Structure 1
Amino acid sequence: MGAEEAVINATRNFIANNSTEIKEETPFAGPVMVILAVMMVMLVVVTVSGNALVIFAFKVDKSLRRQSNYFFLNLAISDFLVGAFCIPLYIPYILSGRWKLGRGLCKLWLVMDYLLCTASVFNIVLISYDRFLSVTQAMSYRAKQRMTKQAIGKMIAVWVLAFLLYGPAILFWDQVSGRSCVPLDECFAEFYYTWYFLLSASTLEFFSPFVSVAFFNLSIYLNIRRRRLSGAQPKAAREVTSPAESVRLSSQFYRHSLLFTSKKASSAPAANDEEDKGSLDSQMSSPPVSRVGSCGGAHRSRLSRDKKVAKSLAVIVCVFAVCWAPYTLLMIIRAACKGDCVEHHWYEVSFWLLWLNSAINPFLYPVCHSSFRRAFTRILCPRWRKSSRHHVEPP
């Protein structure tokens, strides 16, 4: 009996120790863990598939290959890599509470995560600036739409600047300081509690970009409002309808008409002279309305297009602010108080908002841009496109 009791006690101790380790390794209960796992996997699927659709649309649809759309492609690439690399590696870490993939992969994951999220922000700034130029400098902007080399240079600059902001600090912080403050079973950056570094980096990563995109959006709004209230016509229309231009056109028309009537007078009765003169006077008094009307229509069309640009940019900026502001503020507060004044679950929620932004961005393209909407329709509904062609009513 003594031996049996010893075996039973040893079994109980083994189960108790293992259950304690399981509880430490799994911070969530069984049903909660299943729900979280399903939600995370769904987020990965949506992020990867949505951004892959944008990249594929850009590849197959040549009409999208304009300078402005290259910046949307760059944003889609960064968001795609967030869903394909960053989130999948984080799922077992958050569910188990332990990082089991080693220090080398931890640093690689941190570099990629900070790089991709920062590149996403910088791409939004670049898109906002591009939209700003399309409204305020329309003529020169349209002339540069086919200059893809300049667009590719800006795309590369986004990735370089995004890496320089956090990459060297993640890779060499422990070597410069001479020690590491990260436990072996956890994975976070060495500057996790260094508030002055986080404040400086956040100024470049969130506050400055947010102020920039807000400025661009406000400038676009004021430009459109000023044009709508003034009702001014385009420069071409003003030149055509100016008094000097009208006098010049009238004098030319008068000279050609006199030549025509002098030839006609030699063979026509004198009674027709008054009729010809009356018709000539009526033609001289009528302004060239066709060109004025066409210029006015072009002005209204451009104003309508710029309004759509402003609305789409406003939506992207608002989503960016909602997804990034909580994380940035909580990160600085947590670092300043050494993690004692912010509950960890609130930080996790704000952290996932960043990745949620990468899943939302692909759905903003078809909503805000007709060119992407048409490209997505061609890819996702090819049969509908063919049937719509066959069912066109004959003229």
Structure 2
Amino acid sequence: MNLTTLNSSTFKFGRHEFVNSNPEMAIPLLIALGLGTVIGTFGNVLILLGVARAKDLQNMESVFIVNLACSDLYVTALADPMSITAKLEGEDFFERIPGLCRAIACMCTISCVNSLMSISALSFNRFIYICHNKYYKKIFTVRSCIFMCGVFYTIGIFLTMLNYLDIGDHTFDRKSLECIWDRMATYSYTVVFSIVLVWIPIVVIGLSYLKIFLRVKASRQRIHQSRLRTSTSSSNFASSFQLCKTMFIIYIVFATCWAPYALIIVVDHDDSFDYAPHLYIVVWAHMHPSLNWLVYYFTNMKFQRAFDSILFITRCRRRVEVEDVVVTQTTENSLKPPKRVHSTKESAGM
């Protein structure tokens, strides 16, 4: 088998042929997808249980967090196992079940669009809360948040329905060995998809977080000078900013995972690239839904307590609670004016 034939989209891997012909590439990718399936499904279920059980996680922004977890759960519980099947069984497996590959690919597009828009909504939520707090309760209500999530799914469905107008398509990609968006069906649509649904949101969200951090820095300087903030507002501010940092890391992970895919589907306009970059990039993009719960756990104390409670990790939960109290007390003490230091003679009444 020559390399030119193998790198052509006209070449079709048969059953177990990908593993047998290139085990040094196939085995690590299959292991990564297997771990993503198990760890990601476990983690996304944990997110849903955590929000359902912990009252301090049941707020407006959690509507988007739950929506994101549901989309991620589809990828880890169904799309990733189907990706493993595709790499083991080849395209013939899906040809024997008409409509299966297209359905998986369409659902994957809907899920990815919903994930990106949920992350964007969470960023917008934090931006309004911190930078324009007086509008927060007017914009974000339970009804409006649920409505936004419905709109996200509607946009994803609309993008897939355009296929029936011969705009874009979903099929088995012979280079990434995946049921996925057909990058070559309508190239102009692929470019628009990449720019409008990936690059523009990534840039806008990044600028929003930059403004948030500049606003927080300025606020901290004013507070340090005036020392007028109460311990209650201090606690609320710290909690809000902690969630903001968590969502910023989620955004970074999403951008890191999906930016290479948004780039390669545009750059490889004549389908001349080696199949290896397509394989690695698509698998890497699918790792994002498996990582979010770890970001929540290691960057947000509320989620950490909720997860520890579900997993009966009592020792870790007590440690986190103690650290939370210490941080809160330290913040409050730093805002109090310094006490007057009395000399030994004064304290002795002399």
Which residue of 183, 198, 209 maps to 1:206? 198
- The answer to whether 1:363 aligns with 2:294 is yes
- The answer to whether 1:39 aligns with 2:32 is yes
Deviations 1:95-153 (A, max 9, x none): 233242233112101101111111111111011111111211335536877x3122111
Which residue of 350, 354, 360 maps to 2:281? 350
Q: How does 1:219-230 map to 2 (within 5 A)?
A: 219-230=211-222
- The answer to whether 1:162 aligns with 2:96 is no
- The answer to whether 1:127 aligns with 2:122 is yes
Aligned to 2:187: 195
Q: What is the one-letter code of the residue matched to 1:77? A: C
Deviations 1:51-88 (A, max 9, x none): 01111222223332211111100000000011111111
TM-score, normalised to structure 1, is 0.67
Question: Is this contact kept in 1: 2:64–2:149, CA < 8 A?
Answer: yes
User: In the TM superposition, what is the alpha-carbon distance from 1:383 to its structure 2 partner?
Assistant: 5.5
Question: Is this contact kept in 1: 2:305–2:317, CA < 8 A?
Answer: no
**Higher helix fraction (1 or 2):** 1
Deviations 1:264-310 (A, max 9, x none): xxxxxxxxxxxxxxxxxxxxxxxxxxxx85x3545654554454344
Distance 1:148 1:129 in 2: 15
Aligned to 2:17: 26
Which residue of 254, 257, 260 maps to 1:323? 257
Structure with larger Rg: 1
Aligned to 2:5: none
Task: Classify 1:141/1:173 alpha carbon distance in 2 versus 1 (closer, same or farther; 3 Å).
Answer: same
Aligned to 2:55: 62
Which residue of 203, 208, 218 maps to 1:216? 208
Task: Classify 1:306/1:65 alpha carbon distance in 2 versus 1 (closer, same or farther; 3 Å).
Answer: closer
Q: What is the one-letter code of the residue matched to 1:133? A: I
Distance 1:312 1:386 in 2: 19
Aligned to 1:250: none
Q: What is the one-letter code of the residue matched to 1:339? A: D
Question: Is this contact kept in 2: 1:28–1:95, CA < 8 A?
Answer: yes
Q: What is the one-letter code of the residue matched to 1:115? A: I
Aligned to 1:311: 245
Question: Is this contact kept in 2: 1:128–1:313, CA < 8 A?
Answer: yes
Question: Is this contact kept in 2: 1:122–1:162, CA < 8 A?
Answer: no
Root mean square deviation, CA, Å: 3.4
Q: What is the one-letter code of the residue matched to 2:46? A: L
Aligned to 2:99: 104
Deviations 1:223-257 (A, max 9, x none): 112223334789xxxxxxxxxxxxxxxxxxxxxxx
User: In the TM superposition, what is the alpha-carbon distance from 1:162 to its structure 2 partner?
Assistant: 2.0
Q: What is the one-letter code of the residue matched to 1:159? A: Y
Question: Is this contact kept in 2: 1:110–1:170, CA < 8 A?
Answer: no
Distance 2:30 2:106 in 1: 24
Q: What is the one-letter code of the residue matched to 2:111? A: L
Question: Is this contact kept in 2: 1:221–1:310, CA < 8 A?
Answer: no
Uncovered stretches (5+) of structure 1, i.e. residues with no partner: 1-20, 235-291, 389-395
Q: What is the one-letter code of the residue matched to 2:200? A: S
User: In the TM superposition, what is the alpha-carbon distance from 1:354 to its structure 2 partner?
Assistant: 1.6
Aligned to 1:17: none
User: In the TM superposition, what is the alpha-carbon distance from 1:193 to its structure 2 partner?
Assistant: 4.8
* SS across alignment from 1:29: helix
Question: Is this contact kept in 2: 1:107–1:170, CA < 8 A?
Answer: no
Distance 1:22 1:110 in 2: 19
Task: Classify 1:367/1:123 alpha carbon distance in 2 versus 1 (closer, same or farther; 3 Å).
Answer: same
Q: What is the one-letter code of the residue matched to 1:26? A: E
Task: Classify 1:317/1:384 alpha carbon distance in 2 versus 1 (closer, same or farther; 3 Å).
Answer: same
* SS across alignment from 1:201: helix
Distance 2:90 2:316 in 1: 49
* SS across alignment from 1:28: helix
Task: Classify 1:59/1:218 alpha carbon distance in 2 versus 1 (closer, same or farther; 3 Å).
Answer: same
Question: Is this contact kept in 1: 2:40–2:76, CA < 8 A?
Answer: yes
Question: Is this contact kept in 1: 2:16–2:90, CA < 8 A?
Answer: yes
Distance 1:370 1:186 in 2: 37
Task: Classify 1:207/1:55 alpha carbon distance in 2 versus 1 (closer, same or farther; 3 Å).
Answer: same
Task: Classify 1:387/1:370 alpha carbon distance in 2 versus 1 (closer, same or farther; 3 Å).
Answer: closer
Uncovered stretches (5+) of structure 2, i.e. residues with no partner: 1-11, 320-350
Q: How does 1:223-262 map to 2 (within 5 A)?
A: 223-231=215-223
Q: What is the one-letter code of the residue matched to 1:48? A: T
Question: Is this contact kept in 1: 2:183–2:265, CA < 8 A?
Answer: no
